[in-house]
Amino acid sequence: MLLPYLAVAGVLLLVFCGRELRGRAGAVLTAAAVLGAAPLVWYNVTARAGQDSISVFLDQSHGGSAPLGVRFYNGVLFGLPMGTGLCAPASCGRAQLAWGVAVPVLLAVAGWLAVAALRATRDRSVRVVQAGRLALVVAGALSLLSYAQSSAAVHHPIESSRYLFCLLISLPAVLWPLWTVASRLRAGGWRAVFGGAAAAALAGVTAAMVAASAALVAHVPVYRTEARDTRALVEALDRLGVTRMYADYWTCDKIVFLTRERVVCAVLGDDGSPGQDRYAPYRAIVAGADHPVAVFPIDSPAQRSYAAGPGGRAGLVLDVAGYRVYRSAG
């Protein structure tokens, strides 16, 4: 989702700083870009087929056969307020969903105003400001469009909404039309009416963000409990001598991270089939182990599916901190 922002930044530099880019500044910028991209390029050259970042990006960049209404709701109506911090953890009310309608409209208005301002002046400093606003609008619109038509938005709207965090970069441009109209609050007549409405809208956005921040702070004890439960699970796995395991996606990531890969995990999906391993060699490592275990949150879809299969019938080891641990899954 950051690619549009990098692209418009490059265009702005070429248009307004082309002369400088022909000299030392351009050489330094090119060297910095090459150096920064080197690890990603090296990974893509050496990665297994289908595991390189380009393949992953292309795989995530389509929503399959999902209806247009699902994409709009998950990617725009729900995704925008959730991804830009207006919602409480994991839920959005109807008032917050209005932000998903307002942002595309404000982007369109901001883009129109920026284009009009560019056409109306030859002053370089003004043109730079307006071109910057237009760039933020274009980048925000492209990022939103890319996310809305991705499989991540269709299948995992809550978790994947984080991909829209970059739209906060465009927030000044989004709010610019409201700020412009609100500044006419003292003009009198209809201008004052529209100014009051714009000021109320700005106040509403601010209040929603403050309320969402308060809800997040109130949710901290829940996160603290989840962290404590995960540590308890790690301690139980250490007591059992577990170094290889199967688990659902989120449990795998947490355990591998917390144990610094002392415990290697391969993902199983909700239906018991191989899931999305962020590092492909993990699956082969776990499959080659003598006695891997399987770990799932109790009563989760993955746990119920595993319990109904041959692995679940092999026997339960223990329940710990909301997780169910099964003996040999191999």
Total count of domains within the chain: 2
- pLDDT, residue 43, reads 83
Is residue 138 within 8 Å of 144, Cβ to Cβ? no
Same domain (yes/no): 119, 248 = no
Same domain (yes/no): 116, 193 = yes
- pLDDT, residue 159, reads 83
- pLDDT, residue 156, reads 82
Characterize 103-113 residue by residue with b for buried, 16 or more Cβ atoms within 10 angstroms of its Cβ, and e for exposed: bbebbebbbeb
Same domain (yes/no): 183, 246 = no
Same domain (yes/no): 44, 163 = yes
Same domain (yes/no): 281, 177 = no
- pLDDT, residue 89, reads 81
Same domain (yes/no): 48, 141 = yes
Question: Which CA distances in Å does 168 have to 7, 49, 56, 79?
Answer: 17, 34, 24, 13
Characterize 30-56 residue by residue with b for buried, 16 or more Cβ atoms within 10 angstroms of its Cβ, and e for exposed: eeeeeeeeeeeeeeeeeeeeebbeeee
Same domain (yes/no): 45, 143 = yes
Q: What is the pLDDT along the chain (330 residues), one digit of tens a residue?
A: 788 999 999 999 999 988 888 888 889 989 998 999 899 888 888 876 666 677 766 666 665 667 888 888 988 999 999 999 888 887 788 888 999 999 999 999 999 999 999 999 999 999 999 999 999 999 999 999 989 888 888 888 888 888 898 999 999 999 999 988 888 766 667 777 888 888 899 998 999 889 889 988 999 999 999 999 999 999 999 999 999 999 999 999 999 999 999 999 999 988 888 888 888 889 999 999 888 899 999 999 999 888 887 766 667 778 999 999 998 655
Domain boundary residue, one of 200, 218, 236:
218
Domain boundary residue, one of 165, 184, 218:
218
- pLDDT, residue 59, reads 64
- pLDDT, residue 192, reads 79
- pLDDT, residue 309, reads 78
Range of the domain at 26: 3-218
Same domain (yes/no): 89, 233 = no
Domain boundary residue, one of 193, 218, 243:
218
Same domain (yes/no): 187, 236 = no
Same domain (yes/no): 138, 203 = yes
Same domain (yes/no): 71, 139 = yes
